[in-house]
Structure 1
Amino acid sequence: MIRPTLARRAAGAALLIGAALFLPGPADAQPSGTTEPGAGGWRTWVLSSGAQFRLPPPPDAAATRAEMEQLRALAASRDAEARERIGWWDAAAPAYRWNRIAVEEALKAGLTANFGYRHLALLHVALADATVAAWDSKHAHNRPRPGAADPAFGTVVATPPSPSYPDEHAVAGATAAAVLGEIFPQRATAFAKMAEEAGRMRLLAGVAFPSDVEAGAELGRRVAAAVLERGRRDRSDQPWSGSVPVGPGLWNGTNPATPQAATWVPWMLASQDEFRPPPPAAHDSLERAAEMAALRAFQRTPLTNARALFWEAAVGGLRQYEYWNNHLGRLLLEHGQAANPPRAARAYALLNVALSDAGIACWDAKYAYWAIRPFQLDREFRTVFATPNHPSYPAAHACYSMTSALVQSHLFPRDAEALRALGRESGESRVWAGIHYPSDVAAGQEIARRVAARAIERARADGGEQAAP
């Protein structure tokens, strides 16, 4: 626990440190192992550039010496609980930790895939832009870390290989707390406390100066404000004002799932209907009759039922975002990028923006055509589990899962084959379960390919490809 005042000094801590050790150095003085030194120039999503909110220079040498004394006093107050919390926040890059926090909140709130991906896209766009902005200021000022300023000073965790000012955990914490606080207002105070702890643990760990954390929090709040302004204009707060159409061959039921998502503002698409597929086969056509016959003839096995149930129960509407974000977290860890703040933030933003846009494009088509489900077309037909309460065409699992598979395949090409297999199985499982026609899956996968291609096109041009390890 950090005391309210920082008056207590660590015994025997007084060392004479040359003023030059505290002064910023030239950009080319950074060590060769510096994490993503060019990330401050990566393309941003909402900010005009990483330099839009560039911070003023850090405190001078005299102020930095005083801050060093504060850190020595704090180091003497570390206890087992503090060390545990330091390790929890330091386990991976800030985007990874805040992703886990956000996903858990979304699950507690029972959010469907549409809202889950919308909120995660907003959060991770903010974190990606905030991280680029942090790296811009870091390398504009090149302030050495406390351990570099005083080699005798002990830290709890390894000193990050990047300039100290501003602190990236404080930047991300303030950003995430502001965004999540607006999405889940009843939890805003809790998020603010988490953000404060994230910055405080960097001081206790000895890897950031108090002014690094203070400046980082201010930068994070400014980025969050800009991203939230965009989020308030995406129409996700508008209720559905339409009605279920009535007619032969149309989906029929009440309370269709999130039809308003068809009108939300996408991030990368020119419009919601940019990738709208052609109309599905008519309910009384030979093509639809052949698909219905294929569904009836499909020989279900314990394995196909089990895989269908997996994709429904473990990766269904309420857990879509958990599964694919967990998958990305695992790949970041396996590829040595989980502790790389700019690269982790970039990956989470690309994935969740693509998935949010895929959902919008998918829902645009669903509620443009209102295609009838197999069990509605043939009342004698039995499915493996209850059919989700929205139109059949295109298949949402195919839209979401193939988008995720293709975006992650680009980010982690050595895993591409396994990822694409997951994307295919997710779509096929809906046919195995009898809740979709094969053409629903094909249309969903085509939407996914086009949305993923847009995300990959952006990734190739955002500056991060050239710096890829």
Structure 2
Amino acid sequence: MNKLLILIIAILSIGTSLQAQLEPGAGNWKTWFISSGKDHRLPPPPAYKNEIGQVLLAQQELDSAGWQQLLYWNAGAPGYRWADMVNKLWMSDTGYNGALANMLVGVGIYDATIAAWDTKYAYNRPRPFTTDKRIKVYVPRPESPSYPCEYSVAAGVAVTVIGNYFPAMRDSVNKMAQQLMAARIAAGVAFPGDTRAGFELGKTIALKEIERTKGFTPATAWDGKMPQGPGVWKGKRPMFPLAGTNKTVVLESSSQFRPAPPPDFAKDMEEMKNYKQTFGTRANAFYWASNNFWFDALNQKIFEHNLHLNPPRAARLYAFTAIGSYDGFVACWDAKYAYWGQRPDQYDTTWRPLIPTPPFPGYPSGHAALSGLMGELYSYFFPADKVYFRKKATDAAESRFQAGIHFRSDNDVALELGRKVAAAIIQRAKRDGVAEASPLAKGGDR
């Protein structure tokens, strides 16, 4: 009887151990700007027994400020806070590097996470809370080895990319990274050696990816030449006139899906002037002009599917979204400055739009292009919500017509452009060797 009981306990222990392995094969997933995760495997970790006392001391010294940092950095996947930060920086950036920085944070964290997962399962270092019963765990228990710390990996990438493209932020983001690493130690889920190694790995990957993407943005200044004649956009300082010359990641070129030239906007203008606004149409226009729906929706879905507890899968979603934003932006701006399509308040100078007109050509609509792209991308990754996301894409496009700053033609071609870019990115996702989390995303009509 005792032998049987021991056998049952042993079998259960093995099963529990296997269940605690989170994505043990993620170290083999296909990367973007590095050769592979294995090529960046770290040397063996130091003996953790020498670091147990440091973890205990960190927990003993936790004060209210420390608890705030612990709770702040534990929210979401390792890249969540950094993706939110660079997304906002990009939206406020007036140069050409904002979109590139946003893309590199997403892709860099993914590539570095894959490298980290290769190292984790090469050495299987235990988490602090499993090595000494005095160590408490103050966050959800990670189901992966401790070395290197995945949150520190993300911090190393983000600090390096943000510091490179937004140098005024360098000191601030470095301080934040130190707070993050201290928080992971105090939480009982990482040894100091795990955080140091993770941070350095993230920095190394980010530097390689910054070097790899040199030349992605224009090296020369815009010559200031604008087309003349009827039907073209006119303005003093057009924004991002060379963005369409950026090198793309998935697309063969920025012009791969360039739409046909814009039509004469006479019918579009007549439709706009005859459009009957309602409270709902105005609300839709203001909503999409003032909210970053797609980033918020991605985070919501990651939380709903508990993918924030799965760093490799969360990083993959952030990476594909960042690449979609980048390639979609470049493709849309290629078309904008290929045609210099006129805005409604230029076509008819008596027209007064509901919101200020952006300082760049109208055809095709940027909001509609990126929404068409994200609607399809999210429908692939979260197929149960495809009707919802596709409806949101059309709502976003319609909002620009309702706001009076885009003709319907601008929106229609932009939605199609975005969907084509998304289709190319989805094909890349199907070839990266990762089984989708949802069984509904394995092909077929979504």
Task: State the TM-score, normalizing by the size of structure 1.
Answer: 0.85
| Residue in structure 1 matched with residue 10 of structure 2 by the alignment | none
Cα deviation per residue 1:247-283 (whole Å; 9 max; x = unaligned)? 12211221112111111111111111111111122x3
1:451 aligns with 2:435: no
* Closer, same or farther: CA 384–148 of 1 in aligned 2, 3 Å: same
Residue aligning to 2:197: 215
Match of 1:57 among 39, 44, 55: 44
Which of 278, 282, 285 aligns to 2:260? It is 278
d(CA) in 2 for partners of 1:435, 1:71: 56
Q: CA deviation at 1:144?
A: 1.5
Aligned-residue Cα RMSD (Å) equals: 2.3
User: Residue 306 of structure 2: which of 318, 329, 336 is its match?
Assistant: 336
Match of 1:263 among 209, 227, 245: 245
Deviation at 1:151, TM superposition (A): 4.1
Matched residue type, 2:272: L
Partner residue of 2:31 out of 41, 44, 53 = 44
Q: 1:296, CA displacement in angstroms?
A: 2.4
248, 257, 270: which one pairs with 1:293? 270
**2:69 aligns to what?**
85
Report the Cα distance in structure 1 between the residues aligned to 2:178 and 2:185, rounded to whole angstroms.
Answer: 11
TM-superposed CA distance for 1:104, in Å, is 4.4
Alpha-carbon distance between aligned partners in 2 of 1:78 and 1:380, rounded to the nearest angstrom: 63
Amino acid paired to 1:43: K
Matched, 1:139 2:121: yes
> What code does the residue aligned with 2:100 have?
R
Cα drift, residue 103 of structure 1: 3.4
Q: CA deviation at 1:131?
A: 0.8
Aligned pairs (5 A) from 1:58-137: 58-59=45-46, 63-106=47-90, 110-111=92-93, 116-137=98-119
Superposition map of 1:221-260 within 5 A:
221-235=203-217, 238-260=220-242
Closer, same or farther: CA 430–84 of 1 in aligned 2, 3 Å: closer
- How many residue pairs get aligned? The number is 426
Q: Deviations over 1:305-325 (max 9, x none)?
A: 22122222x14xxxxxx4322
8 Å contact 1:126–1:223 — kept in the other structure?
Answer: yes
Query: Quick check: 419-428 or 379-388, which moved more?
Result: 379-388
Following the alignment from structure 1 to structure 2, what is the Cα–Cα distance between the partners of residues 244 and 48? 42
What residue identity is the alignment partner of 1:65? K
One-letter amino acid matched to 1:220: G
Deviations 1:415-443 (A, max 9, x none): 22111111101111222233222221111
The Cα offsets for residues 381-428 of structure 1, whole Å up to 9 and x where unpaired, read as: 333233222222111111011112211221212222111111101111
* Whole-angstrom CA distance in 2 between matches of 1:194 and 1:236: 31
Question: 1:181 — aligned with what?
Answer: 163
1:416 aligns with 2:386: yes
In 1: Cα distance, 2:81 partner to 2:387 partner: 28
Is this contact kept in 1: 2:382–2:438, CA < 8 A? no
Q: Which residue of 2 aligns with 1:346?
A: 316
**AA in 2 matched with 1:244:** M
Matches of 2:123 and 2:294, distance apart in 1: 37
Distance 1:106 1:211 in 2: 33
**Which range moved further: 200-209 or 126-135?**
200-209
Query: Are 1:309 and 2:293 an aligned pair?
Result: no
> For 1:44-69, what per-residue CA distance to the aligned partner results, in whole angstroms no more than 9, with x for missing partners?
1101111121111222xxx3222223
Judge conservation of contact 2:245–2:330 (CA < 8 Å) in 1. Answer: yes
Equivalent-residue separation in structure 2 for 1:79 and 1:235 (angstroms):
45
Pairwise CA distance, 1:236: 5.0
User: What does the per-residue CA deviation read over 1:57-98, in whole Å, with 9 as the maximum and x for residues that have no partner?
Assistant: 222xxx322222332333332333322211221122111121
Name the TM-score, length of structure 2 as normaliser. Answer: 0.89
Counterpart contact for 1:177–1:195, Cα < 8 Å = yes
CA distance in 2: counterparts of 1:36 and 1:339, whole angstroms: 11
Cross-structure match for 2:342? 372
Distance in 2, matches of 1:174 and 1:248, equals 51
For residues 109 and 378 of structure 2, the distance between their equivalents in structure 1, rounded to whole angstroms, comes to 19
Structure 1: runs of 5+ lacking an equivalent? 1-26, 316-321
Q: In 1, are the aligned partners of 2:103 and 2:323 still within 8 Å (CA)?
A: yes
Tell me the amino acid that sits aligned with residue 162 of structure 1: S
When residues 434 and 154 of structure 1 are mapped into structure 2, their CA distance, relative to the original with a 3 A threshold, is closer
Cα 1:346/1:259, change in 2 over 3 Å: same
The sequence identity of aligned pairs, in percent, is: 40
> In the aligned structure 1, how far is the partner of 2:247 from the partner of 2:17?
41
Structure 1 distance, partners of 2:300, 2:151, is 21
Aligned-residue offset at 1:106: 4.4
Question: 77-86 vs 408-417, which deviates more?
Answer: 77-86
> Helix, strand or coil: the match of 1:52?
helix
Q: Which amino acid aligns with 2:49?
A: R
Q: Counterparts of 1:18-37 in structure 2 under 5 Å?
A: 30-37=17-24
In structure 2, distance between residues paired with 1:352 and 1:235: 16
Question: 379, 402, 406: which is aligned to 2:376?
Answer: 406
Partners in 2 of 1:309 and 1:207 — Cα distance?
43
Amino acid at match of 2:75: A
Give, as a single letter, the amino acid of the residue that structure 1 aligns with 2:38. A
